[in-house]
Amino acid sequence: MKKSVSLIFLFLCCCSKNSSNKIQTLKDEVMRNSDLTSYAILSNHLEDGNNYQDLLAYSLKIQKTNKVGCYDFYANYIRIAFDNKFKIDYISNLEKPEQDFLIYILHKGALAEETRCKETLIEYYRNGIAIEKNLSKADSIYKSFDYPDK
């Protein structure tokens, strides 16, 4: 047991020394290869420090090949605009072109079966947030989850 704890401690100490090199490697992997594992590690690291500005570009890059990036881009954009705070209704306080672009990103994620994008669009359509209220669209997205009837 002591060996395990010692090895973990040693590993963590070594990691912190090479942290900036590893972060740069992760960034390179995301940008060059759209590597989802590198993106997940990078995302966790940058979110811990509220570095949403740094993460935004990587979210945009990864969303081209993976549905996860769509919601991340949307949420990070809102966090940047509102001092690291996030609520789905904050989108209403953005300029109309920004709202439209974020709705487009959410639709793209929803078409790729990204659950968080679908849930957000359901809320927006049900409550008329940033888009015209449309209960039939909200219900249509809801039914795409194969949930039991309401």
Tens digits of per-residue pLDDT, 90-116? 999 999 999 999 999 999 999 999 999
Q: Is the pLDDT of residue 53 over 60?
A: yes
Neighbour-count burial for 17-56, b at 16+ CB within 10 Å, e otherwise: eeeeebeeebbebbeeebbeebbebbbebbbeeeebeebb
* Residue 117 · residue 71 · CB < 8 Å: yes
d(CA 10, CA 53): 32
Residue keyed to tokens 């959410």: 106
Residues 6+ apart with CB under 8 A from 75: 86
φ, ψ of residue 149 in degrees (nearest 5): -55, 150
Let me know: does 143 contact 125? Beta carbons within 8 Å.
Answer: no
Query: What pLDDT is stored for residue 137 in this prediction?
Result: 95
d(CA 11, CA 90) in angstroms, rounded, equals 41
Average pLDDT of the segment spanning 28-42:
86
| CA 42/CA 48 separation, integer angstroms | 10
Q: What is the pTM of this model?
A: 0.77
- Which two tokens mark 145? 């989850």
User: With 60 as the cut, is the pLDDT of residue 5 above it?
Assistant: no
pLDDT for the residue numbered 150: 52
Inter-residue contact 51 to 75 (CB < 8 Å): no
